Amino acid sequence: MKNTFTRRNFVQSGALFAAASAASSSLPMLAQQPSSATGAPSPIQLGLASYTFRNFSREQMIGFMKQLSVTDLNVKDTKDHLPMDPAEEAKALADYAAAGIKLHAAGTIYFAKDEDADIRSKFEYCKRAGISVIVAGDPTPETLPRVEKFVKEYDFRIAIHNHGPEDKLWHSPLDILKAVKNMDPRIGCCIDVGHTVRAGTDVVQAIHEVGPRLFDVHMKDLTNFQSKESQVAVGDGIMPVREIFEALIKTKYKGFVDLEYEVHGDDPMPGVISSFAYMRGVLAGMGYRSHG
């Protein structure tokens, strides 16, 4: 599977206009879209997975998001991003509200126990934050009926995250789909595109097959679909980004595409800036005006 929208196409199509218009200022501005951008509003909503900034505090991450012109966050209980403790969680929520950051999903959250009390605590954690999409890491098939009970009670969506060949249960979104196809329609997938291709699954086809059970997307790029260690900034690898966006639009996907940049944990901003600039450029090349 080859990414047909390469960085060379990106430059030649003029989609780097955003970056070019900001080149005279600071590097973080490379991720911003110019105010003169034309075209229809993008049907693809770009967000950030807070795990990208796992080595940084909430305050630092908020500063980075302002530089990136990103306001939508898939937040995780890592560092102090969104603590499970109610009092600490309330402080975090106040900080995000003050910064104009909206939380659209929480996770990855792990359901290690097939117990009502443990599962309820995770749902209450998200309820306090006003989050109705839970990106779930490891619910077993045996645990899913209990999770389903809470999905119905809270009217939340569970997006089970596939973790590739290393995952004992959920290699691919298609494995998840088989397990949940007869369950409540609010139980579905978070497609991690990197882990999906490493599992040998056509990610574009998977988007079409999962369809209305797709509730979140984690975006990354690889130079080798057999190597987890080959992750690079989005656009520097062979991930079919434009085709992924086209599939999401065709299936009328309403969720977010969250950048999850897992390399260079101590200095992620150059790759994060490049990734957002590229994704916004792809959307510009498709005739859309993206947020930011």
Report the pLDDT value the prediction gives residue 181, as an integer from 0 to 100: 93
Find the Cα–Cα–Cα–Cα dihedral 171, 270, 56, 260, rounded to 10°: -20
- What's the mean pLDDT in 141-150? 95
For residue range 155-176, what is the model confidence (pLDDT) as tens digits?
A: 999 999 999 998 888 999 999 9
Q: Tokens for 177, please give them.
A: 């789909």
pLDDT range class, residue 291, cuts 50, 70, 90: low
Please name every residue paired with 240 in a beta bridge, in sequence order, or none if there are none: none
- pLDDT at residue 258 greater than cutoff 50: yes
* CA 51/CA 53 separation, integer angstroms: 5
- What's the mean pLDDT in 219-248? 97
For residue range 200-215, what is the model confidence (pLDDT) as tens digits?
A: 999 999 999 999 999 9
Residue 126 contacts residue 77 (beta carbons within 8 Å): no
Report the pLDDT value the prediction gives residue 39, as an integer from 0 to 100: 78
- What's the mean pLDDT in 24-51? 65
Beta strands in 92-227 (DSSP E): 102-109, 133-136, 157-161, 187-192, 214-219, 221-222
* CA 149/CA 24 separation, integer angstroms: 55
* CA 236/CA 224 separation, integer angstroms: 11
Question: DSSP labels for 84-105?
Answer: SSHHHHHHHHHHHHHHT-EEEE
Report the pLDDT value the prediction gives residue 10, as an integer from 0 to 100: 44
Cα angle 145, 149, 153; round to 5: 165
* CA 111/CA 138 separation, integer angstroms: 6
* CA 159/CA 190 separation, integer angstroms: 5
Q: Tokens for 14, please give them.
A: 């003029």
Report the amino acid identity of residue 12: Q
For residue range 27-36, what is the model confidence (pLDDT) as tens digits?
A: 333 444 433 3
Closest CA to 215 of 151, 122, 165, 272: 151
User: What is the value of pTM for the model shown?
Assistant: 0.87
